[in-house]
Amino acid sequence: VREQPRLPDTPQPMSRPLKVTHGERVLDATSGVTKLDLVRYYAAVANRMLPHLQGRPCALLRAPEGVGGALFFQRHGGPGRAPELTELDPALWPGHAALLSVDHADALVAAAQWNAIEFHTWNAPARHMDRPDRMVFDLDPGEGTIWPQVQEGALLVRTLLEELRLACWLKTSGGKGLHVVVPIVPRWPHEVVKALSKAMVQHLARTLPSRFVARSGPANRVGRIFVDYLRNGHAATTVAAFSARARPGLGVSMPVAWDDLASLRSGAHWTVQTAREHLSFQSVDPWADYARTPQALDDAMAAMGLRP
């Protein structure tokens, strides 16, 4: 067992103070969490969250009136943008305005001041936009599914990945489901990674049709889990680890050890109100090896009958 340092549980110092406007505004009637609470949450988890954000195009879900009000999915800068956010080179996505990234604690907190609740990242970092460094399986429970089916579904996805000799990491979505993430060598374009994930999901749905469905759409999903591979397409995003969700209760997307899967009660097991306490008791980062484990896909593609 490798010795691991105790995790930092103190907030990363901000380089300058930030003025929070309307800090008293309640963002979520269910929990009573205010805008200032959310800003403080992001300041507190910045150390843990930033590795999942830095250098990666990021879309913000902004909710100026909180969870019950209008939500804006903001992928680009534009007037009024928090200046702490990085505007990436517009050439990275021809035909589109500059994408944003969140590269330091000031930017994370400024985004929250700018009414961002959720942070969604691309699968590829800006320095190699056409080569994703992760493959995501988004487990979406259909109507009529019970939570143990979602837990079992995640284990089955992991089993298939293990058969393909791919290690994977688990996080709650902060909403209804779970996300299984495979760090990969950035050698294949989005379409290839998407094709592999699609082949895997179709295989699961063929062999276990009572549990999985490979086609999107609520009617197809009743009582079953849709494993969403569409998160792997170009320009698709997935909510970042430690992001809050603009949903009642303000769940957060939390990295989880596979051994702790059985003890989860939902995809929103942790919230903005409970996440910090959980992290303060955690002595080992369940995702410590994630960034150190980029994996090649050649063998998995061959095993799934795809040409690398």
Residues that bind Mn ion (CB under 5 A): 138, 140, 177, 228
> Measured between alpha carbons, how far is residue 19 from residues 28, 110, 112, 168, 226 in Å?
21, 9, 11, 40, 43
Q: Which is nearer to ligand ATP, 196 or 236 (CB)?
A: 236
CA-CA distance, 16 to 255, in Å (whole number)?
Answer: 29
Spatial separation of the C-alpha atoms in residues 61 and 68, rounded to whole Å:
13
What residue 74 binds from ligand ATP, Mn ion, none (CB within 5 to 8 A, per partner kind)? none
Q: Which does 72 bind (CB under 5 to 8 A by kind): ligand ATP, Mn ion, none?
A: none
| CB closest to ligand ATP, residue no | 175
237 binds, among ligand ATP, Mn ion, none (CB under 5 to 8 A by kind): ligand ATP
Q: Which does 238 bind (CB under 5 to 8 A by kind): ligand ATP, Mn ion, none?
A: ligand ATP
Whether residue 12 contacts residue 107, with contact meaning beta carbons closer than 8 Å, is answered with no
Smallest gap from Cβ 228 to Mn ion, in A, equals 4
Closest approach of Cβ 213 to ligand ATP, in Å? 14
Chain residues that interact with ligand ATP, rule: CB under 6 A: 73, 120, 138, 140, 173, 175-177, 228, 231, 237-239, 267
Those residues with Cβ within 8 angstroms of residue 244's Cβ, 6 or more apart along the chain or in another chain: 38, 41, 42, 117, 118, 174, 250, 251, 252, 271, 272
Helices and strands of the chain, counted as H and E runs: 7, 14
Considering the complex, state which of residue 20 and residue 99 has its C-beta at the smaller distance from ligand ATP: 99
* C-beta closer to Mn ion: residue 22 or 215: 215
Q: 244: phi > 0 → left, psi -120 to 50 → alpha, else beta; which?
A: beta
The minimum distance between CB 102 and Mn ion, in angstroms, equals 21
Looking at beta carbons only, is 153 or 186 nearer to ligand ATP?
153
Tokens of 161: 């990945």
